[in-house]
Structure 1
Amino acid sequence: MLNAIPFPEIRPEIFTLHLLGHEFSLRWYALAYIAGLLLGWRIIITLMRRAKLWGGTAPMAAEEVDDLLTAIILGVILGGRLGFVLFYGFDYYSAHPLEILKVWEGGMSFHGGFLGVMVAGLWFARRHKINAWSLADALALAAPVGLFFGRIANFINAELWGRPTDMPWGVIFPGAAAQDCPGVLTLCARHPSQLYEAGLEGLLLGLILWVLVRFGALTRPGLVLGVFLTGYGLARMFVELFRQADAEFITPENPLGHVIGSADFGLSMGQLLSVPMVLIGLIFVLRALNRPRAGTAEA
């Protein structure tokens, strides 16, 4: 395709060390997770030091965030990996169970990671007697940063690319799978759906949440969480219109990889998992708006 953009010459590995006959590589994928977690950690610490944003009293001390980070890391990794195995690769991993442990090779599900974080956060809140709704709001506010870096890493890894397109911003991703485009005789360009998600789920959603916080959203426990769930679900459902479905869902009779509905009109796995997020998010928003604000006294 003449108007397509060549994939930039970026290797998945930042650098590789050769020690004692073994290779040790730092990959962009791993760095994205590290950066997202550390920046999220700093964001939550900053929030806990600004009692005014919470209506006068922060839900927890800033010093407790270090312990929270450990629980969140476990939730992200375990939930994200198990979600990917169950939702997107059950048949393969059932036959190759040891492959489940190879997290460094990629294969994480946001929906699974989100559930893992929610379970870890709820456990932490109960153990430390913290308002679970307020803690969930803080986690939701930090999440878009990790989403942004994660989607950029997906692009660098040349994975999770979109459907074929003739738009001028289409990208020619490397690899036989990316170039397997029925009916295309030249190089196949695809939607850079990873960048669409980075922009919508990361930048735009993060900006919306911060604006809401500046207007007192944290004084209504659960509101930021609800907006995050609704916003992410809608953004993901939209991007799925341009994103290539996982290979296990695609057949000659179902080229778009719908898991429910017909081949022409249906929902992908990503959309199906996002529908309950949108509905639950709206319920949380209504719940928060129908309850009185927290106190407005300054700390």
Structure 2
Amino acid sequence: MNILPLAYLLSGGWLHIGPPYIYINIDPVLVHLGPLAVRWYGLMYVVGIMVGLWVIKGYTTRKGIDQDTVYRILWWCIAAGLIGGRLYFVVQQPHLVENYLMQPWRIIATWEGGMAFYGAIFLIIPTLFWRAKVERINPLVLIDAGVLFGAAGQIFGRIGNLINGDIIGFPSTLPWSTVYQNPNSWACLNPSTCNVPVQPAAGYELIINLFVLGIMLYLARRVRRPGILMLVYLFSYTISQFFIFFARQNDIVSFLGIDIGLKQAQWTSLVVFILLFPLTYWVMRTSRPVPDGEVAATYGIPQKPKPALEKKVITEELSEAPALVAEDAETTSVDTEIPTTESERAETGHEGEEVTTPLTTEQSDGSEVQSTPKGSGQKS
């Protein structure tokens, strides 16, 4: 196991702030466990998920989403985010055919770097719509919880980017410029960015993420219309990405034959920004504010009766059935009883009627013969 001691960090070996710049000398690999390398970036993913769950716990509880449902949906979203983020990164690569289509195993080689957060968004939102339908939850309430989770988790993702050195800005002489010194950092894979002060693009995104999360936490307790948090997050993310990429060292690409000096993420931001306007119109037209006393997660969503309640009702009905049958049988036997004495026939209105009682006599051979007393029978 190879890990830098804490004393080295405290002495300024990992991080040194000025003058004149911010110097980062952190190995992207936190620890080696045999052939396995535990990276800071992966650790930040785990921390981001845990913090995101903690942030949305109170929100989902207030909206009527239990924690079991949250965890069921979480695993689907993690899978969708990893798949979407990786695939969107792959399809943007200039050497897509020779590097990925001809070598498809490299598509899942996330350790080589490369995740596009827009791809995660594009796949997670449909996943949330699908799970909302399955769980019978208002999809906009669920997506609001999802973007709140994402805004909190992104903060730690940006910390991972700062350690990795995989989000590099242009060379700069600003006092907050970052200088990557560790030879294993992504910045030092390119000699032009190793030990060179550059714009801390990941730091800019980190600050914006903190600001956006603060706004969303404020709105989460005050806004009653589902979908507003989603719009706030998507607008803030697309706008911030568009402007931050002017400071990032990424390739300039054309879109539909148009070349105006924009990068891939900026083109994506423009398209998403335009699509957000009809989405905003749809949310404002279809999403109703949740009244006081109503459960936001299920407000306006038809619900199935709970199986446990149905079973209880059926059990109660079955338990009452034998008592009803016994009661009916007892009533019938009482109603059909025929009076036998003269006084009873007089009281019940059967006076004058004769009661035929069969008599049994024994023959000499031991057989029994039934006979009717004289005077009985029908009148001619």
Q: TM-score, normalised by structure 2?
A: 0.65
Match of 1:271 among 266, 272, 285: 266
Give the direction of change, closer, same or farther, for the CA distance of 1:62–1:161 in structure 2 (3 Å limit): same
Q: Which residue of 2 aligns with 1:102?
A: 109
Give me the whole-angstrom Cα distance separating, in 2, the residues matched to 1:17 and 1:132. 42
- Alpha carbons 1:223, 1:284 under 8 Å: kept: no
Q: Which residue of 2 aligns with 1:13?
A: 29
Quick check: 268-277 or 2-11, which moved more? Answer: 2-11
Q: Is the aligned partner of 1:295 residue 2:291?
A: yes
Higher relative contact order, chain-length normalized (CA < 8 Å, sep 6+): 1
Match of 1:45 in 2: 57
Which residue number in structure 2 is paired with residue 30 of structure 1? 42
Partner AA of 1:38 in structure 2: M
Q: How much has 1:166 moved relative to structure 2? A: 1.8
C-alpha distance 103-145 of structure 1, shift in aligned 2 (>3 A): same
Q: Which has the larger radius of gyration?
A: 2
Q: What is the aligned counterpart of 1:232 among 230, 237, 240?
A: 237
Q: Please give the alpha-carbon distance, in whole angstroms, between the structure 2 residues aligned to 1:44 and 1:106.
A: 29
* Distance in 1 between residues matched to 2:142 and 2:271, nearest whole Å: 21
Quote the residue 2:121 is aligned against.
114
Please say if residues 170 and 191 of structure 1, whose CA atoms lie closer than 8 Å, have aligned partners that are also in contact. yes
Kindly tell me the number of residue pairs found equivalent between the two proteins: 268
- Please list, as runs of the form range in 1=range in 2, the aligned pairs for 1:153-172 lying within 5 A after superposition: 153-172=160-179
Residue 3 of structure 1, CA deviation: 6.3
Q: Distance in 2 between matches of 1:187 and 1:9?
A: 10
For residue 24 of structure 2, give the secondary structure of its aligned residue in structure 1: coil
Separation in 1, partners of 2:69, 2:243: 37
Does the residue aligned with 1:88 lie in a helix, a strand or coil?
Answer: coil
Instruction: Return the alpha-carbon distance in structure 1 between the equivalents of residues 264 and 80 of structure 2.
Output: 22
**RMSD (Å), alpha carbons:** 2.4
Shift of 1:65: 0.8
For residues 188 and 114 of structure 1, what CA distance do their matches in structure 2 show? 33
Q: 2:155 aligns with which of 134, 139, 148?
A: 148
Secondary structure of 1:118's counterpart equals helix
Equivalent in the alignment of 1:254: none
Structure 1: how far apart are the matches of 2:31 and 2:195?
29
Q: Deviations over 1:36-92 (max 9, x none)?
A: 2222233333212114xxxxxx3x333211101110111111111111111236243
Structure 2 residue 275 is matched with structure 1 residue 280: yes
Q: Percent identity between the aligned chains? A: 27
- Please identify, of 120-129 and 74-83, the stretch whose mean Cα deviation from structure 2 is larger: 120-129
Does the 8 Å CA contact 1:5/1:169 hold for their aligned counterparts? yes
* SS of structure 2 residue aligned to 1:10: coil
